[in-house]
Structure 1
Amino acid sequence: MAENFRIPSPDDPVEAFAAVVALRRLAAGLERETVDRALTAGWTWAAIGQALGMSAQAAHKRLAPARRTAR
């Protein structure tokens, strides 16, 4: 999953914004997959929220598989 890539300079906004979007998508995908695996492993929403630095309710509202929107 880890790939070597060059971090663009903010001096090139087009390239830098493209990198920001790509990183956000990568992070969101990793977060969703990790939540799914944690739930399968028996984690509670409280434990998931704590691991992500948010409340159980916030984690559930944002990341529950049944509540996700298709992207």
Structure 2
Amino acid sequence: MGLRAVGALHRLAEQVEAAAVARARQQGWSWEQIGDALGVSRQSAHAKHGK
């Protein structure tokens, strides 16, 4: 039961992150700014969320 809850939270966090990144891109944020906000490199942010 605990692991299922963790999995559900992880999926929810991924969805929230993707929506926030999409909004940031719409507002003109650079991949460097997004990476900084997420605590990852710009390359990692772009690899995960870029289209």
Q: Normalised by the shorter chain, which TM-score bucket?
A: over 0.9
Find the partner of 2:26 among 40, 43, 47: 40
Residue segments in structure 1 that go unaligned for 5+ positions in a row = 1-14, 67-71
Percent identity over the alignment is 45
Bigger radius of gyration: 1
Distance, in Å, in 2 between the alignment partners of 1:53 and 1:30 is 16
TM-score (ref. length: structure 1): 0.70
Structure 1 runs (4+) greater than 6 angstroms displaced: none
Q: Cα RMSD over matched residues? A: 0.5
Residue segments in structure 2 that go unaligned for 5+ positions in a row = none
Higher helix content, 1 or 2: 2
